[in-house]
Amino acid sequence: MKYLKYLLFCFLFYLIIISPSEIKENVTSSLILWVNYVLPILFPVFIVTDLIIQNDLTNKIGSFLSPLFSFLFNISKRSSVIIILSIFAGNPSSARILKNLIEKDEISIAEANYILSFTSFANPIFIYNVFGIAFFKNYTVGLILLISHYSSNFIIALFNRPKEKFTSNSDDIKSTNIVESISKNIQVVLNIAGFIVFINVIKLVLTEFIQNKTTIIYLIINGMFEFVSGIQYIADSDEDLKLLVGLASFTLGFAGIAIHLQVYSLIYEKLSYMKYLIARFVQGILSFFITLLIFNFFYIEAVTVTKNYYSLIYLFLVLLLIRKNSSE
């Protein structure tokens, strides 16, 4: 494995020397993808999520949903809050939260591994607007991807449900102020850009000698490196739409090596990456088959939208926070 890594790096360096234009084009397209789709959606979502935490809304939502989550998954109220935050913030938020809780000795390793296995969520606004509307140009595809993505995670949670309920001494998750949130999340989105560029360059090297880049196998391999550009490539393919949406669901469930590297960098000292990796493969396969099962029930041909409805969600959240602050 060590020599394989050295060989890959040498080949990458060789490719940069002989094909600088290809590397430049690859890096440019990766950054354009990040600027057009990742940054304008994920950065404000991260900020709004931190505002929700800061205003204690997560604990109130957790109080409302914790009985249901506790019954289904045998988890504490704190873990219910982690699930909610993971859904809204997207990957790798759960790994980041769990890392902080472990360092403070406020959650057990067993519970953290369990929570991590089924909280690999992509942001719902990102799924609906970028993948459904921008890539597939049909909002019912976004709905199908949402259903398969979240249901597959919860199936994994139910399958691995612990026999005894996890408990915690404190159910609150500490917040950060807005200045800390902006500084922290700027670094997060820049890291995402770096991972997207790096993984796409590695993908270019490894797929350099593949002649036919329209086959199903190539679409799967391509998506397993970095899921945003991977799903974009899948959406542009000429294969059967139902199959393409299924492949997009698999790609979304697996999350891509770029996300895996981010999660691994956060958990490798305390939690099991192998359990996380297996869960992502299982989630990808479950998402694929769920998509094939529900596609005909939800898909409507030529249903497109032009408005960015996620902006209304941001407005609602901001007004809710302003109203809460003014009443205190």
Reported as a single tens digit per residue, the pLDDT across 76-96 is: 777 887 888 888 777 877 887
Q: Residue 296 has which token pair?
A: 């005909």
Categorise residue 2: left if φ over 0, alpha if ψ from -120 to 50, beta otherwise: alpha
What pLDDT score does 174 carry?
55
Q: Which of 67-71, 99-103, 255-259, 314-318 has the highest mean pLDDT?
A: 255-259
Does the pLDDT at position 316 exceed 70?
no
Nearby residues of 211 by Cβ (< 8 Å), 6 or more positions away: none
**Nearest-CA neighbor of 53 among 61, 42, 63?**
61
Which of 170-184, 209-223, 226-240, 276-290 is predicted with the least confidence, judged by mean pLDDT? Answer: 170-184
- DSSP H helices, the chain, are 2-18, 20-33, 39-54, 57-73, 77-89, 93-103, 109-117, 124-126, 139-159, 178-206, 216-225, 227-235, 241-254, 257-267, 273-298, 310-327
What are the residue boundaries of the structural domains of the chain, listed by start?
Answer: 17-327
117 Cβ partners below 8 Å, 6+ apart?
A: 156, 157, 160, 275, 276, 279
The whole-angstrom separation of Cα 68 and Cα 307 is 34
Residue 157 has pLDDT above 90, yes or no: yes
For 6-37, write each residue's pLDDT tens digit: 676 676 676 667 666 777 787 888 888 778 87
What letter would DSSP give residue 321? H
pLDDT for res 283: 96
The alpha carbon of 223 is separated from its chain's Cα centroid by a whole number of angstroms, namely 13
